[in-house]
Copies of this chain bind each other. A is one copy, B any other.
Amino acid sequence: MPLINIDALPVREIFPGLRARLIHTDRVSHSWVEVAAGAPFPEHHHPHEQIVTVLDGELELVVDGTTHRLTPGLVFVIPPGVRHSGRGVTACKVLDAFAPVRDDYR
């Protein structure tokens, strides 16, 4: 898999308005997500840790009941099992790095 063109990966709509392109290795999954302006994603949780990196735009992230606003340069680490939800404040690009691999996204 070594050299990957993100734009050439298939798109998976993980929630309405959230278009993800996914890379899986043996240990992690990286999900490149385009979030539409205003698009919400519902509260959920999973056993994977998740590092949320906003690359462009602004993302609202609610983690365990506390609301955060993420812009480029701010990163949020969601521990395994912690409930979270959110929405695109603007259209935004987000890199979600999961460990271990999201087998449910393969």
Chain B residues near A100: list those with CB within 8 A.
27
Chain B residues near A35: list those with CB within 8 A.
none
Copies of this protein in the complex: 2
Given contacts A73-B6, A73-B7, contact A26 B1 (CB under 8 A): no
Chain B residues near A34: list those with CB within 8 A.
none
Chain B residues near A79: list those with CB within 8 A.
2
Whether B77 pairs with A1 at a CB distance below 8 angstroms is: yes
Residues 37 to 80 of chain A near chain B (Cβ within 8 Å): 49, 51, 53, 55, 63, 68, 73-79
Residue A99 CB within 8 A of the other chain: yes
Whether A77 pairs with B7 at a CB distance below 8 angstroms is: no
